[in-house]
Amino acid sequence: MTVRVRFAPSPTGMFHVGGARSALQNWIYAKQQGGVFVLRIEDTDAARNKPEWTEGILSALDWIGISRGSYEGPYFQSENAGEHRAAAARLYESGRAYYCDCTREDVQARTGSQHQGYDGYHRDRGLGPGPGHALRFRTPDEGATVVVDLIRGEPTFENKLIEDFVIARGDGSPVFLLANVVDDMTMGITHVIRAEEHLPNTPKQQLLWDALGVKPPVWAHVPVVVNEKRQKLSKRRDKVALEAYREEGYLAGAMRNYLMLLGWAPSGDREIVPWSVIEDEFRLDEVNPSPAFFDEKKLRAFNGEYIRALPVAEFVDACQPWLTGTGTIAPPPWQPEEFDADAFAAVAPLAQTRIAVLSEIVPNVDFLFLASPLIDEAAWTKTMKDGSAELLDDAVAAFEALESWDAESLKSTLEAVGAERGLKLGKTQAPVRVAVTGRTVGLPLFESLEVLGRERTLTRIRAARLRLT
């Protein structure tokens, strides 16, 4: 039997990191089993779907390595509507489903409870199809439904506690529960690997598989992803969109490595490992069923390590979208013609060791490309003290006299300027840094001045000096 898995997102919003995690797990499982990965877009909720969300899913999957053309699909659930209706009809004809026209109020009036499920009123009343008649599945009165789950063992659900649930609405349209089962069936899915949130649906879906006469798939419900307060990650509260991480400058490699650690770990005391190791070692049945903490701080640290591990030339390439502003990434504060690729290449190795996400490249190098630096006023006030004006005067004089404009000479020269005033280098360089870069923190100062050049450095220190009079 060929293993066939599917990833079945609904295109109703930005693509969620939890979804990306499930997609990767499906992807690796299929690969390990010599199986097939199917992508199915569950687009039957016409009111909430938008084509751009579908495109967002395809491009996000592509980014993390599930590339277009290397899987089966995408199929669209809406295209299978005929099959969904046919399955509903079969269930009705075989007596496994029946029509019901009860409103919620009717049920409440009979049961006296707002919370109790449907009471089976129409089970044997022989109501036929018609406008406003919903189709309900007749759940067995006895026995239990045992879900075979690779991660959770065999969760068992007593059938008498499962209400006769709706499978097609009053307008005849099949509901998600049924459409999802019918699609899995027609696509020959053997393993359903999906988020834990769907576990409550599973006994109902398994009953549908049984009623339709097809062996149900093996299930694997992967753990819910939570924030630091142990709340389920929510798009209203948490940063959940894969695209947001991409725009911030997370590397795809770091992201997918981190996502695979949600509920699982490679052997040894390692977390950052090559993708090939994850593909070898990942075991679906080793995934921990408890909620998985999505730790953004840890992801940041991960990303920093991935950035530092890049060959410099790749780092330079990876920074390009932030240096030029491409796609949805905001343009930098300088004009395209102000950018100097050689100057950037000269400071890139210094930046590479200091940033955790690629978007941080911009504030680190903007001083190189802007005609005058963007002065952070708070940094200015904090740094420019009594004596700063004179210190800048001395720095200008000493720098003007420099024969060789290189980092080492600049450093020893400024050190000497400070020493005359009894200042350590740190104190001496702070006003110079703010004058030249506009900030108190950044790349190593003297290398920065070397790349910026004599003329521009002196102009900036003089301008700052003027401001202090």
Which residues 149-188 are close enough to bind ligand GLU by CB under 6 A?
A: 180
Minimal distance in Å, beta carbon 204 to ligand GLU? 12
Please indicate if the annotation marks 319 as binding a ligand: no
Residue type, 225: V
Which part of the chain contacts ligand GLU (CB under 6 A), choosing from 7-15, 146-154, 237-245, 324-332? 7-15
Please give the structure tokens belonging to residue 241. Answer: 């969109």
115 annotated among ligand-binding-site residues: no
Tell me the closest approach of the beta carbon of residue 31 to ligand GLU, in angstroms.
19
Nearer to ligand GLU, 8 or 166 (CB): 8
122 in a known ligand binding site: yes
Stretch that binds ligand GLU, among 5-13, 121-129, 155-163, 351-359 (CB under 6 A): 5-13
DSSP for 146-182 reads E--BTTTB--EEEGGGS---EEE-TTSPBPHHHHHHH
Question: Residue 285's Cα: distance from chain center in Å?
Answer: 24
Segment near ligand GLU (CB under 6 A), from 3-11, 47-55, 167-175, 458-466? 3-11
Q: Which of 50, 235, 239, 298 is an active site residue?
A: 235
Pick from 85, 90, 123, 198 the residue near ligand GLU by CB under 6 A: 198
Q: Is residue 442 exposed (0-12), middle (13-18) or buried (19+ Cβ within 10 Å)?
A: buried
The answer to the question of whether 100 is labelled as a binding residue is yes
Is 411 flagged in the annotation as binding? no
Q: Can residue 42 be called a binding residue for ligand GLU (CB under 6 A)?
A: yes
Q: Is 50 part of the annotated catalytic residue set?
A: no
Q: Which of residues 8-37 bind ligand GLU (CB under 6 A)?
A: 8-10
Q: How far apart are CA 54 and CA 334, in angstroms?
A: 34
The answer to whether the Cα torsion of 272, 278, 281, 287 is positive or negative is: positive
What's the closest the beta carbon of residue 19 comes to ligand GLU, in angstroms? 7
Q: Which is nearer to ligand GLU, 30 or 329 (CB)?
A: 30
Question: Is the CB of 151 or the CB of 414 nearer to ligand GLU?
Answer: 151
- Report yes or no: 58 and 66 within 8 Å, Cβ to Cβ: no
Q: Which is closer to ligand GLU, CB of 194 or CB of 460?
A: 194
What are the contacts of 363-368 at 24+ separation with CB within 8 A?
363/439, 363/442, 364/442, 364/443, 365/323, 365/443, 366/332, 366/333, 366/334, 367/436, 367/437, 367/438, 367/439, 367/442, 367/448, 367/452, 368/340, 368/343, 368/344, 368/448, 368/451, 368/452
Which of the residues 82 through 141 are near ligand GLU (CB under 6 A)? Answer: none
Q: CA angle at residue 60 from 354 to 237, to 5 degrees?
A: 75
Q: What is the H or E stretch that residue 343 is in?
A: helix 341-352
Smallest separation (angstroms) from ligand GLU to the CB of 192: 6
Q: 378: which residues sit within 8 A by CB, 6+ positions away?
A: none
First-to-last C-alpha distance (Å) of the chain: 83
Q: Which residues of 212-230 are buried (b: 16+ CB within 10 A; e: fewer)?
A: beeebbbbbbbbbbbbeee
Q: How far is the CB of 371 from ligand GLU (least distance, A)?
A: 50
Q: Which is nearer to ligand GLU, 198 or 454 (CB)?
A: 198
Angle at 203 (CA atoms; ends 181, 40), nearest 5 degrees: 25
Among 96, 138, 194, 439, binds ligand GLU (CB under 6 A): 194
How many CB atoms within 10 Å of residue 247? 18
Q: How far is the CB of 79 from ligand GLU (least distance, A)?
A: 15
Closest CB to ligand GLU among residues 42, 247: 42
- Tell which positions 403-462 bind ligand GLU, by CB under 6 A: none
80 near ligand GLU (CB under 6 A): no
Strands 225-226, 292-293: pairing kind: parallel
CA torsion sign for 239, 245, 248, 250 is positive
Binding to ligand GLU, residues 202-231 (CB under 6 A): none
CA distance 295 to 313: 30
Nearer to ligand GLU, 47 or 371 (CB): 47
Nearest to ligand GLU of 9, 332 (CB atom):
9
Least CB distance to ligand GLU at residue 245 (A): 19
Residue with smallest beta-carbon separation from ligand GLU: 194
Which part of the chain contacts ligand GLU (CB under 6 A), choosing from 4-12, 146-154, 318-326, 339-347? 4-12
State the residues that interact with ligand GLU by CB under 6 A: 8-10, 42, 180, 194, 198
Report the binding-site residues for Zn(2+). 100, 102, 122, 124
Report the binding-site residues for ATP. 235
Give catalytic residues, as residue numbers.
235
